[in-house]
Amino acid sequence: MAQLTMVQAINQALAGEMRRDDRVVVLGEDVGKVGGVFRVTEGLYDEFGEDRVIDTPLAEGGIIGTAIGMALYGLRPVPEIQFADFIFPAFDQIVSEAAKMRWRSGGEYACPIVIRTPVGGGIRGGLYHSQSPESLFIHTAGLKVVCPSNPYDAKGLLLASIRDDDPVLFMEPKRVYRAVKMDVPEGDYEVPLGRAKVVREGRAVTVVSWGAMVYESLAAAEHVSGEGVDAEVIDLRTLWPLDVDTIVESVKKTGRLVVVHEAPKTCGFGAEIVQRVMEQAFLHLEAPPARVTGWDTPFPYTLENEYLPLAHRIAPALASTAAF
């Protein structure tokens, strides 16, 4: 077992699965000789060659359309979209074709593709390199949406995603790529899709988050613990399918809910989580659910830290919700 960053863990997962299953191919802009803009695919081209690690033109619709065709002919492609902000030219291929293939064929065809893409802020990328578009894809029936927060989960979730017969959007928080190291087994393991994890136990308020915001939520929870507020923090890991049971079980214990995400508040995934809790645990709530999110504006460059829901914005929400 070695201490790996998320970049190294994802690279290890890709290499291991490509060795295990010759149906797995990687394609995208600069993923081959360059190894990707974040070097996540570094070394794969040298080991597996140009037939399985394919440098594509700058054409996201073409990348995903090609991957869908590969999947229908028996391969398991892992296309990379260089930044989630650039995924929109491929939106129609993802939501109209990949997501619907199993239904339109009456189950005759599956579309086992995993679309990897970096998401979120934290690297001074500005409005075209910092977006979090998860809710657009969660809204689309037929897609699974994953967002790991740490290297161990990233490897296990990616292996589970590649082996899944449904299309998966695998969102990687770029802020965490090299910021966190942890023990990651060298061998094969899966983290099951659709299961959240309680990463900090508490009894005063439930905090639900994912990706880079898990760390901000944990920091906020530690801060308010000094004020006597014992927060429970849940890392969703898989956004869809949503592990409602883990959230509801926690809210029944704490009676309070705060959801944290980078995306804008309006129609963000936090709204859906709040409603699910209202439907299943309304009588257990002792305070109105709260959301701490990005603002309803394009992602700024110079004011990045004012836009992001960092710990200093989360902590007051925890304290006020707990005190309600």
Name the token pair of 36. 């990707």
% of residues, the chain, pLDDT over 70: 100
- Mean pLDDT value of segment 204-211: 98
- Which pLDDT value is given to residue 126? 87
Helix (H, G, I), strand (E, B) or coil at 57: coil
Arithmetic mean of pLDDT, 80-94: 97
pLDDT band at 122 (very low <50, low <70, confident <90, very high): confident
Domains and CATH numbers, the chain: 2-184 (3.40.50.970), 197-323 (3.40.50.920)
Model confidence at 110: pLDDT above 90: yes
Q: What is the pTM of this model?
A: 0.96
Predicted local distance difference test score (pLDDT) of residue 125: 86
Confidence of residue 89 (pLDDT cuts 50, 70, 90): very high
Average pLDDT over residues 165-194: 97
Give the integer Cα–Cα distance in Å for 138 and 240: 6
pLDDT tens profile 237-284: 999 999 999 999 999 999 999 999 999 999 999 999 999 999 999 999
pLDDT at residue 139 in the model: 97
- Interval 31-68: pLDDT, tens: 999 999 999 999 999 999 999 999 999 999 999 999 99
If you average pLDDT over every residue of the chain, what do you get?
Answer: 97
Instruction: Catalogue the active-site residues.
Output: 129
Pairwise CA distance, residues 85 & 91, whole Å? 11
Q: What is the DSSP letter of 118?
A: E
pLDDT given at position 44: 98
- Three-class SS state of 198: strand
The 231-235 sheet, strands edge to edge:
197-200, 231-235, 205-209, 257-264, 290-294
Radius of gyration of the chain (CA): 19
Token pair for residue 194?
């659709």
Mean per-residue pLDDT, 297-318 = 95
Q: What is the pLDDT of residue 124?
A: 87
The identity of residue 230, as a single letter, is D
**Alpha-helix residue ranges (DSSP H) falling in the chain:** 6-20, 44-48, 60-72, 91-92, 101-104, 134-138, 151-162, 213-225, 244-254, 269-281, 304-307, 311-323
